[in-house]
Amino acid sequence: MQLTAQFLLSAVSAAQFPARGAPEIAFLGRSNVGKSSLLNSLVGEKAAKVSSTPGRTRAINFFALLDGKQRRKLVFADLPGYGYAKISKSISATWPAFIEPYLAERETLALCVCLVDANVPPRPNDRQLLDWLRSAGREFVVVATKADRLSGNERTRNLAALKRELELDEILPVSAKTGYGVRELWRRIEEAGTRDAGTS
Ligand code: GDP
Instruction: Name the residue range of residue 99's domain.
Output: 4-11+21-199
CATH number at 50 reads: 3.40.50.300
Q: Is 32 in the pocket of ligand 1 (CB under 6 A)?
A: yes
| pLDDT recorded at residue 196 | 62
Q: How confident is the model at residue 146 (pLDDT cuts 50, 70, 90)?
A: very high
User: Which of the two residues, 128 and 82, has the higher pLDDT score?
Assistant: 128
Nearest protein CA to atom 17 of ligand 1, as residue: 34
Does residue 193 have its Cβ closer than 6 Å to ligand 1?
no
Residue 20: band (very low, low, confident or very high) from pLDDT cuts 50, 70, 90: very high
Q: In what order do the strands lie in the sheet with 109-117?
A: 4-11, 60-66, 72-78, 24-29, 109-117, 140-145, 172-173
Local confidence band at 50 (pLDDT 50, 70, 90 cut-offs): confident
Is residue 33 assigned to a domain?
Answer: yes
> pTM above the 0.95 mark?
no
If one counts the domains in the chain, the total is 1
| Per-residue confidence (pLDDT) for residue 8, from 0 to 100 | 94
Cα separation, 111 vs 103, whole angstroms: 10
Residue 189 lies in a domain: yes
Of 52, 10, 30, the residue nearest 129 (C-alpha): 30
Top mutation candidate among 37, 58, 84 for ligand 1, by most atoms within 8 Å of CB:
37
The arithmetic mean of pLDDT across residues 75-103, rounded, is: 75
Query: How many angstroms separate the Cα of 100 from the Cα of each of 64, 132, 162, 197?
Result: 22, 9, 24, 24
d(CA 81, ligand 1 centre) in Å: 13
Mean of pLDDT values over 71-84? 88
Local confidence band at 28 (pLDDT 50, 70, 90 cut-offs): very high
Is the pLDDT confidence value at 98 over 70? yes
Is 81 a pocket residue for ligand 1 (Cβ < 6 Å)? yes
Q: Indicate whether residue 49 lines ligand 1 (CB < 6 A).
A: no
33 lines ligand 1 (CB under 6 A): yes
Q: How many Å separate Cα 108 from the centre of its chain? A: 15
What value does the mean pLDDT take over residues 14-38? Answer: 94
| Ligand 1 contacts CB of residue 88 (under 6 A) | no
Q: Is residue 16 situated within a structural domain?
A: no
